[in-house]
Amino acid sequence: MSDASMPSQAAPFAGRVAIVTGAASGIGRATVELLHRQGARIVAVGRGGNVEALARDGIVPVVADVAQETSAALAVETALERFGRLDILVNNAGIIINRPVAEMSLEEWNRVLAVNATGAFLFSRAAMRPMMAAGSGAIVNIGSYACYQSFAGIAAYAASKGALAQLTRTLALEAIGHGIRVNAVGSGDAVTNITNAIQPDGQAYLAQHGRKAPIGRAARPEEIAEVAAFLASDKASYIVGAVVMADGGMSVAIP
């Protein structure tokens, strides 16, 4: 490959196409904005109508539920039809239901696992097919320090993030022979809307909880997006099957 065909430092993702789930807000939106600024064309997937506000040249919003098998097929088809290729998948979509196991319904348990773990499986499976045909690609899963630590009330969330970490490792072994790297970000508490459904002010709750990290604060969504973008980039070409912790030290602190 000649120097003229190499992505520039200002646009390292020029010519590349990404799918980002959970794109309407928080880490997903920050990731869409960052990859787009750096040259990528993006299919932005989200459940709410807010994802449609991302529409512009080079960003195609898709309103879909990641837990549905048809959603993964739709996102991949959209990338191939609109942009002709697929290079990157960021599995970011996630939910949390904060409830003790004894009080949690089977429906609530299944929903958390379906979005956080099964959704990543469905989108990874669909994305790998064109990536395998091309002989290259990168999949980045947005996980959590909860894959190593936990606390009362987040059993379903912690189980789903543990599953996501193991999916990352296993899929990495299956994919690398096809030129596809699979890694994850072990995110700390980032100030997003993920807890809005269970807290009067979800962002304030996460900001407060994030102060328990050794670094003394919660993450900004943009900080997690930077790690995801790095793992999707050529700079991470030798990183395979890793869960890169970006949690302010939470995973190494005594609970």
Query: Which residues have a Cβ under 8 Å from the Cβ of 134 and sit 6 or more positions away?
Result: 85, 86, 87, 179
Residues 6+ apart with CB under 8 A from 125: 72
> Which has the closest alpha carbon to 164: 136, 140, 143, 138?
143
Q: How far apart are CA 249 and CA 88, in angstroms?
A: 28
CA–CA separation, 39 and 61 (whole Å): 17
User: 145, 148, 157, 205: which is the annotated catalytic residue?
Assistant: 157
C-alpha 48/C-alpha 25 separation (Å) is 10
Amino acid letter, residue 19: I
157 counts as catalytic: yes
Interhelix angle 221-232/26-37, rounded to 10 degrees, is 50
Query: Which positions are annotated as active-site residues?
Result: 157
